[in-house]
Structure 1
Amino acid sequence: MSATLPLTRRTARRPRRVRLAALGLGLMTLVACGAPEMREPRGRTGPAPVEVSALRMDLPPMKRFTSAPETTPRRSNAQMAQDFMDLSFRLETGATLPVFSRFEGPISVRVVGARVPPSLNADLGDLLGRLKREAGLDITLVSRSAPAAITIELVPAAAFRKRAPNTACIAAADVSGWSEFRTARAASWTTVRTRTRAAIFIPTGGTPQDMRDCLHEELAQALGPLNDLFRLPDSVFNDDNFHSVLTGFDMLMLRATYAPELRSGLTAEQVAALIGPLLDRLNPAGRGGGVAPVDTTPADWIANVTRAMEGGALSARRTAAARAVSIARSRGWTDTRAGLSFFLLGRLQQGQDTNAARTNLDQARRLFAGSSLTDIAAAHTTLQLAAVDLVRGDYATALDRLDPAIAAATRAQNAALLSSLMLTKAEILVRTGRAGEAQPVRLDSLGWARYGFGSDRDVFAHIAEIQALAR
């Protein structure tokens, strides 16, 4: 039996924030990292799991996060000043932006399109509230018929996939709707000197969490930084995609973007002279810290990580992940890039070599656990380790890891990851003769699962997949 958690969701971001499908039980927010199929080998016997049919009850109401996550940046302003420059003046392609750009004046947002779910409206309201409070933005939701600086449009899934295959959602410059986007020349952020309009396109039919994650990432990009940096441990502006909602670092970057000291049209040299004192004013707690040397992420590491996370033959992806690990070791990395390298290699070895997978996932978890900035990455890794432990029958080890990971997923407001960890814990409790303790854990997880996975059918299938690992 492959110790692999099933493939369900997104993402990788390009300069236009195009995001691809991802691996892992709705929990691994990584690019197109398809999981080996979870078919049970013929003749496998073992203790029968709790039958999903026994859980065919009315599910509890969907849960959603209503309070803001922790939003305190926890790095030095000097370090974050360098991050601001790299996020604001470069694209992932390597292109350099000639000038700084932002919206000038009040920013209006509207939602249009078909089948706008109530959860999206609620999540957008919460996000706009955070942008006002934490980033100081003058941003307002207007009616769908009113002109707006930023248009969020839900597009029928078939039409979206035809125009933008293998993407989760898109932020586009200088357009106000899907029809215009389909027919206009491809707008480039490199030509924008002052932002006047932008559009975010989200396909219909996604889970509530998928749509919320698109709102956070694409709206942040339409408003502010256009780049993604693998070195960032505490940001959605990172193609490892461990974070799914805007962090304290992200809010500080947006607050700095719209500070009165800056304006559209400034050059990189002008912004560089202003950003240090500006961050000291906005974030006094970050004053006085040092600047760790920035080891530029080499193109060959990015290429191998991208290849490991994309679709294709598993053997080729494992080879790419192994090369990424080799590069990380040769450069002496101990940061989030090193953790991601070991994570990907272990993740891709799960269907091939359980012992090697566990070794590499353990190394990734140790790297991530070394800093509070990467506790959500450690939680993702814990879930993959729990899959290995379930297959091995090492229930005690898996159980010890889960509670800290559950707390991290709660803080990061990742319902798909949270419900997966809780369902895994419930299954382990059943397997160790503690069914009474398992029942409330499973029941509590189901409301989060409805937000993270969507339909009742997908929730029940998800439970069955976790049970299948434990057979």
Structure 2
Amino acid sequence: MRLISMIAVLGLTACMPAPSAQVSKSYTEAGTTGVGLPAMQGFGSVATTGPARSNAEIAHDFLDLEFRMESGRAIPNFSRFEGPITVKLTGDVPPTAPAEMSRLIKRFRAEAGLPVSFAKPGESASITIEFQPRAQMAKVVPMAACFVVPRVQSWAEYKAERNGPKVDWTTMTKREHVAIFAPSDVSPQEVRDCLNEETAQAMGPLNDLYRLTDSVFNDDNFNSVLTGSDMLMLRLHYAPELRNGMNEAEAAKYLPGMLARMNPAGNIASGTFKQIAPRSWIAAVEGTFGPRGGNAARLRSADMMLQIAMAQGWHDARLGFSYYAKGRAMASSDPTQAVAALTEAARVYRSIPGAQVQLAHVDMQLAAIALAAGQPDQAIAFADRSIPVAKRAENASLLATLMLIKAEALENEGRVTEARALRLDTLGWARYGFGSERQVRGRMAEIANLGARGHRG
């Protein structure tokens, strides 16, 4: 399940005033001529790297991903599809979804060796992806941006069965039909992100682990597309040594040999095996980033995240995420303390191999605070450091936000021509990351308000 919170996008609003009617700046070169935004940008091939962890740690992660649910319930039996896997898109399919799914299928085949293809017309698919309006989905699962369900093939069937044993993953011993439900009225990036995570979970591991920095199997939503680590997990999931119905102990005995064959670079000394986060910390995460509650409630939840992380003695991504959550929650009420928390988050993430995208999210928050504080040079420095990372991570919403912050900072330094050119370069990425023209212009107005505050200050 992918949580509805989109941290790269919504986090920035914590340190912004509401869009102001006083902002009159034109956000396209067309000005008032009525010409719309430029064409939407897209990404090319994904450049992935393998996991930096030892094979012993990866084996531990694999078992926690495969034999636990996000709720904490145990999954007694391993399950997967047998033979070719087919996919069908149905419902109110967004215009970009077929191309995104085609691109993803090519990656599954090339990087994980999986026999995935589109179902033929009229054919019953292994995985049915049905798109519904977000408001319709929120009535049923408020916290989920998208989610995956076993043994059903339609939204109507899911609603009829959702409180019964048919849709219980813990009773599965073999996968035959699985449904993914995704929102139809969101940005192209969010459509792509849902396809990446939910299709991978429909075929492979069902759990998410907050301790993983290099995976979409993590509800912090920092990673947007499947990583090299995720593709390794899928290759393991479909290894010939494993079979449907295996229990955890039976699967565990095969993992060392499987990993030695598939990931020889991981044959290194093991690190510390990390346990699953307690439900109290996960509840605090949901309180901090979920759709309900005001700033005070979010700050209390962020404080609880940090208290639990420190009590657990964590030094991994969960501690960094806890500091990030506190900094994000304090950005509007106490920027000084927010910077202190975000600096600690950055310190933690720098100690973790492969956490560059997490650092880019921290930089975005710091850049926004610097812009509002009248420190355009600092805002530019933060943005410049993380723009290449956001592009490599294929995160257009993060990329566009960093570029827009830099453009406002350039303008505040009097570099108006550079600012205008950068703002125009940003618009294609903004269309992919934010979606509608209204959303794009709203985000630009928010960042312009930050720049206006810094300029006045």
Superposition map of 1:222-241 within 5 A: 222-241=202-221
The answer to whether the aligner puts 1:105 opposite 2:89 as a matched pair is no
1:175 is paired with a residue whose SS is: coil
Q: Deviations over 1:281-304 (max 9, x none)?
A: 011111133132324423332232
Partner of 1:38: 17
Is the CA contact 2:79–2:243 (under 8 Å) kept in the aligned structure 1?
yes
> What one-letter code is carried by the residue in structure 2 that aligns with 1:463?
M
Q: Following the alignment from structure 1 to structure 2, what is the Cα–Cα distance between the partners of residues 243 and 23?
A: 10
Q: Cα distance 1:40–1:125, how it changes in 2: closer, same or farther (>3 A)?
A: closer
Q: Deviations over 1:190-215 (max 9, x none)?
A: 01100011011112211111110110
Is the CA contact 2:8–2:398 (under 8 Å) kept in the aligned structure 1?
no
Partner of 2:52: 74
**1:211 maps to which of 191, 205, 208:** 191
1:416 is paired with a residue whose SS is: helix
Q: Could you tell me how far 1:185 is from its partner in structure 2? A: 4.5
Is the CA contact 2:52–2:353 (under 8 Å) kept in the aligned structure 1?
no
1:470 is paired with a residue whose SS is: helix
Partner of 2:27: 52
Q: Following the alignment from structure 1 to structure 2, what is the Cα–Cα distance between the partners of residues 392 and 304?
A: 29
Partner of 1:305: 285
Q: Cα distance 1:266–1:27, how it changes in 2: closer, same or farther (>3 A)?
A: same
Q: What TM-score, normalized by structure 1, do the two folds share?
A: 0.89
**Structure 1 range deviating more: 81-90 or 395-404:** 395-404
Q: Cα distance 1:458–1:317, how it changes in 2: closer, same or farther (>3 A)?
A: closer
Is the CA contact 2:2–2:197 (under 8 Å) kept in the aligned structure 1?
no
**1:277 maps to which of 257, 264, 275:** 257
**Structure 1 range deviating more: 315-324 or 461-470:** 315-324
Q: Percent identity?
A: 43
**5+ residue gaps in structure 2?**
453-457
**1:324 maps to which of 270, 294, 305:** 305
The answer to whether the aligner puts 1:433 opposite 2:411 as a matched pair is no
Is the CA contact 1:26–1:416 (under 8 Å) kept in the aligned structure 2?
no
**Structure 1 range deviating more: 156-165 or 306-315:** 156-165
Q: Deviations over 1:34-69 (max 9, x none)?
A: 847723799xx9xx8844376644322111112123
**Structure 1 range deviating more: 222-231 or 19-28:** 19-28
> What one-letter code is carried by the residue in structure 2 that aligns with 1:334?
H
Q: Deviations over 1:119-172 (max 9, x none)?
A: 111111111110111111011112352211101111244533333334321211
Q: Deviations over 1:310-361 (max 9, x none)?
A: 3213223212212222232333322111111111111111121111111111
Partner of 1:63: 41
Partner of 2:66: 88
Q: Following the alignment from structure 2 to structure 1, what is the Cα–Cα distance between the partners of residues 220 and 96?
A: 26
Q: Deviations over 1:236-256 (max 9, x none)?
A: 111211111111111100010
Partner of 1:195: 175
Q: Cα distance 1:360–1:126, how it changes in 2: closer, same or farther (>3 A)?
A: same
**2:4 maps to which of 20, 30, 38:** 20
Q: Cα distance 1:27–1:130, how it changes in 2: closer, same or farther (>3 A)?
A: farther
Q: What TM-score, normalized by structure 2, do the two folds share?
A: 0.92
Is the CA contact 1:66–1:126 (under 8 Å) kept in the aligned structure 2?
no
Is the CA contact 2:7–2:221 (under 8 Å) kept in the aligned structure 1?
no
Is the CA contact 2:28–2:424 (under 8 Å) kept in the aligned structure 1?
no
Q: Cα distance 1:196–1:376, how it changes in 2: closer, same or farther (>3 A)?
A: same
Partner of 1:354: 335
Q: Cα distance 1:458–1:149, how it changes in 2: closer, same or farther (>3 A)?
A: same
Partner of 1:147: 124
**Structure 1 range deviating more: 116-125 or 266-275:** 116-125
CA RMSD of superposed structures (Å) = 2.2
Q: Following the alignment from structure 1 to structure 2, what is the Cα–Cα distance between the partners of residues 338 and 404?
A: 23
Q: Deviations over 1:378-399 (max 9, x none)?
A: 1111111111101111111121
Q: Cα distance 1:27–1:420, how it changes in 2: closer, same or farther (>3 A)?
A: farther
Partner of 2:455: none
**Structure 1 range deviating more: 174-183 or 205-214:** 174-183
Q: Could you tell me how far 1:182 is from its partner in structure 2? A: 1.8
1:118 is paired with a residue whose SS is: coil
Partner of 1:174: 151
Q: Following the alignment from structure 1 to structure 2, what is the Cα–Cα distance between the partners of residues 383 and 18?
A: 22
Is the CA contact 2:16–2:449 (under 8 Å) kept in the aligned structure 1?
no
**Structure 1 range deviating more: 55-64 or 418-427:** 55-64
Q: Following the alignment from structure 1 to structure 2, what is the Cα–Cα distance between the partners of residues 27 and 36?
A: 8
**1:463 maps to which of 441, 444, 457:** 444
Q: Following the alignment from structure 1 to structure 2, what is the Cα–Cα distance between the partners of residues 435 and 36?
A: 24
2:231 is paired with a residue whose SS is: helix
Partner of 1:8: none
> What one-letter code is carried by the residue in structure 1 that aligns with 2:446?
E
Q: Deviations over 1:390-433 (max 9, x none)?
A: 11111111211212211111111111111111111111111112
Q: Cα distance 1:133–1:127, how it changes in 2: closer, same or farther (>3 A)?
A: same
2:181 is paired with a residue whose SS is: strand
Q: Cα distance 1:24–1:234, how it changes in 2: closer, same or farther (>3 A)?
A: closer
The answer to whether the aligner puts 1:120 opposite 2:101 as a matched pair is no
2:90 is paired with a residue whose SS is: strand
Q: Cα distance 1:18–1:386, how it changes in 2: closer, same or farther (>3 A)?
A: closer
Q: Cα distance 1:124–1:150, how it changes in 2: closer, same or farther (>3 A)?
A: same
1:163 is paired with a residue whose SS is: coil
**1:257 maps to which of 227, 232, 237:** 237
Q: Following the alignment from structure 1 to structure 2, what is the Cα–Cα distance between the partners of residues 308 and 117?
A: 30
Is the CA contact 1:25–1:462 (under 8 Å) kept in the aligned structure 2?
no
Q: Following the alignment from structure 2 to structure 1, what is the Cα–Cα distance between the partners of residues 38 and 126?
A: 38
**1:387 maps to which of 365, 368, 376:** 368
Partner of 1:3: none
Is the CA contact 2:146–2:182 (under 8 Å) kept in the aligned structure 1?
yes
Q: Cα distance 1:400–1:158, how it changes in 2: closer, same or farther (>3 A)?
A: closer
Q: Following the alignment from structure 1 to structure 2, what is the Cα–Cα distance between the partners of residues 467 and 156?
A: 31
2:149 is paired with a residue whose SS is: strand
